Chain A
Amino acid sequence: NAGVTQTPKFQVLKTGQSMTLQCAQDMNHEYMSWYRQDPGMGLRLIHYSVGAGITDQGEVPNGYNVSRSTTEDFPLRLLSAAPSQTSVYFCASSYRARNTEAFFGQGTRLTVV
């Protein structure tokens, strides 16, 4: 089992560029989510999904889009990158939203210049 696979590990973007962060899990988990981690702050939820075809916004969704066409994949799209989106991004999955262990990807360090 690969667990949660997140790519790329590092990325540098210019302001205004778009890109997609990929996240895939092979554990048949219902719940997948994206977080950003900034210095001095806890992880903050960007978007989450409780199953294929269902997505919802988290705490900091502006500037990001997601889709969940399959159970396995949950890509995060930056529509027009801004320096404020410089951060470390983590994808996570769990069998259900509550009371189940969460598995995290390795993280993507994104710099927007």
Chain B
Amino acid sequence: KNEVEQSPQNLTAQEGEFITINCSYSVGISALHWLQQHPGGGIVSLFMLSSGKKKHGRLIATINIQEKHSSLHITASHPRDSAVYICAVGGGTGNQFYFGTGTSLTVIP
């Protein structure tokens, strides 16, 4: 069973397009994290949120606790946004993160 489901698995976009990546989870959580992983690279935390919405530059993350759903939006996408985006949830009762399998994004110039 997958506690965290992401969609789509793969996404190709033209430069400038608005992108949405979705994350649904089935466990009670204390916080949800969006992570970015460049090819061959390490993992960087983009957002941590437990309610509402956060914005960093062209990136926006939202979460709906009642629906157990989060979205990551990228406005005016750029080729440097090409990466794998991973949704992770921090368990509400335990000391463990549950990870989605990631969304591989390719932005074409």
Contacts and interface: CB of A to CB of B under 8 A. Distances in A.
Interface of A: 31, 33, 35, 40-45, 48, 50, 56, 58-59, 90, 92, 97-107
Contacts of B88: 42-43, 102
Q: Which size bracket describes the interface of B in this complex?
A: 20 to 34
B90 A98 contact: yes
Contacts of A56: 95
Interface of A is mostly: loop
B99 A101 contact: no
Interface of B is mostly: strand
Interface in B18-74: 30-31, 33, 35, 41-45, 48, 50
Given A101-B45, A106-B41, A42 B101 contact: yes
B95 A48 contact: yes
A81 to B, nearest CB: 22
A58 B86 CA distance: 19
